[in-house]
Structure 1
């Protein structure tokens, strides 16, 4: 799969395609049905399939920290789109220039001159251009005038409700990981490189593998039992996601303590699959109180894993 960053990087070889556009946050089962439509049409037209996404996502541009947390980091989203068999991903920087682009300029610069789209798959409620002035009817008219076709996306429902990123986000916040897995078509995971931290966990006798979240705001916050996959192997673990208020943390961090492992993990790619919510993140009156709570959390986590061992398998995260 080819990742193209920005309109300015489009070349002659990129012109002529079947495309769709959206946030594709989570690349859930609803998204996958849309991608199936795109790939089917791409095969019929004998053209490459293209997914157009934004970075940052439009709501993040407008709302900043008040925007909903993402399900997937940018690199995870790209990796998931690649697994779906997409030929190309075009990532547009959502900035003041793009926000001010008129609907007609969107059609001219992106669909016609940029990609020479032959077939476009979008929702019938899709809006585009400055002040969301463009709509499906305008796209159909442009298609008739310039020789491309437009197709509705198909709504995909589970339990009589539309599968959406919002619904998955809400299920994660409730700790309903079974529902989120059904909606995503896979377990919910967060993946990142293990980095050096403050070494505070080691001082407390509970060393952690840390993943910085950078600009990514995870929809989860608190302490969880998880499976941490490193170098192709799953380790039962306990994980905290949040700001670490007891030690005045300023940036969100994922910290995982892996059971039954004694090796350095710095620089390794770690995938964390969330299994069970233990408690919310909170501030403690000093490190002694924090250590007491951590030991209590560890006991709860080990007890949970022991109960699950006789109930059902919990392995099976996607390979990283």
Structure 2
């Protein structure tokens, strides 16, 4: 899969079959649509193209700070890269772009820049200024500009919409098992390891403190999780705490910290993609450091036993 950061940068070698959407999570429902896209591309000897937008339109039009997405844009690119797509086109979403009339969008983007032969979208797809154009308008433009439209059924679209909503709900409620089932892969947190408060080190559990730059990235419910990350091309399991460390922290700062089993070395400055595999428990305030250490030992034992079931 080749990725282009704008439609204007994409120079098609032949005609394309295009689908359009956010594809947040790249979950089972999304993969069903992409599989259909690739199938049509192969049958009709076309290139498959997924057109998406970034930032999310709601971030630009509503300046919605509460909007949380399952994937950062970099995570989305990586997960889409293994779907068999030929091309991913990420069009920057701006106020100017949002003001394009429906026909101008079709002509300039789909026809002139993407060289479209077939568009695959949902029955409820809307586009153009103020999202006033619908699937019937798209079919009318298709006749004018000589491309086909394949409509995704209500049932398939509902599956996609509901799954994304369900995944976000599951993540915020700490139901990582359920979220991972919908995603068909582990939910990940990606960030750079930075210096923290050294609280874990003082307890004999040195942790990697993860700084997640993207404020739109959804963060799971506070608590302790079994996790895995690839470090220097080798997988390492561990346990992650998301929360405020109420037993020993002097401030109320939220952190994402991971203690990796069997790892020795310096992780500062490294970017890690950490998979969340299983939730162990809620974060809680303990009466003493002795009680906290005892709980962490139990968490480690639970984690190691769980990891054995995966191997």
Please classify the TM superposition score into its range, dividing by the shorter chain length.
0.7 to 0.9
Alpha-carbon deviation of 1:300? 3.7
Task: Look up the match of 1:46.
Answer: 45
The equivalent residue for 1:121 is: 120
Cα shift at 1:276: 0.9
Deviates more, 1:31-40 or 1:56-65: 56-65
2:106 is aligned to 107
Q: Aligned in 2, Cα 1:274/1:17: closer, same or farther, shift over 3 Å?
A: same
CA distance in 1, matches of 2:289, 2:147: 63
Alpha-carbon distance change, 88 to 261 in structure 1, aligned in 2, over 3 angstroms: same
Shift of the alpha carbon at 1:109?
1.5
The alpha-carbon distance between structure 1 residues 52 and 162, as it changes in their structure 2 partners (threshold 3 A), is: closer
CA 1:243 to 1:122, structure 2 compared with 1: closer, same or farther past 3 Å? farther
Partner Cα separation in structure 1 for residue 44 and residue 8 of structure 2? 25
CA displacement at 1:30 relative to structure 2: 0.2
Whether 1:314 and 2:307 are equivalent positions in the alignment is no
1:260 aligned onto 2:262 = yes
Distance in 2, Cα, partners of 1:196 & 1:186: 29
Quickly say closer, same or farther: Cα 1:240–1:16, change in 2 above 3 A: same
Residues 235-261 of structure 1: CA distance to partner in whole angstroms, max 9, x if unpaired? 3422133577956577x7532111232
Q: Distance in 1 between matches of 2:152 and 2:226?
A: 35
Q: State which of 259, 264, 279 in structure 2 corresponds to 1:276.
A: 279
- Shift of the alpha carbon at 1:227? 2.2
Asked if the contact 1:238–1:298 (Cα under 8 Å) also holds between the matched residues in 2, the reply is no
Q: CA–CA distance in 2 between the matches of 1:253 and 1:132?
A: 39
Asked whether the equivalents of residues 21 and 51 of structure 1 are also in contact (C-alpha less than 8 Å), the reply is yes
RMSD: 3.0
TM-score, scaled relative to structure 1: 0.82
Aligned match of 2:242: 241
SS in 2 for 1:299: helix
Counterpart in 1 of 2:89? Answer: 90
Shift of 1:141: 0.6
Cα distance in structure 2, aligned partners of 1:229 and 1:289: 32
The alpha carbon displacement at 1:122 in A equals: 0.6
1:292 and 1:90 mapped to 2: Cα distance? 54
Task: Report the CA distance between 1:89 and its aligned residue.
Answer: 0.8
Deviation sequence 1:202-256 (CA, Å, 0-9, x none): 3454321133211142241312222222234443422133577956577x75321
Alpha-carbon spacing, 1:290–1:78, altered in 2? closer, same or farther (3 Å): farther
Tell me the secondary structure at the aligned position of residue 54 of structure 1. strand
User: Which residue does 1:227 correspond to in 2?
Assistant: 227
Alignment coverage as a number of residue pairs: 304
TM-score of the two chains, using structure 2 as the length reference: 0.85
Partner of 1:313, secondary structure, is: helix
Unaligned runs of 5+ in 2: none
The 10-residue stretch of structure 1 (141-150 or 176-185) with the greater mean CA deviation from structure 2: 176-185
Write the distance in 2 (CA, Å) between the matches of 1:193 and 1:98.
Answer: 32
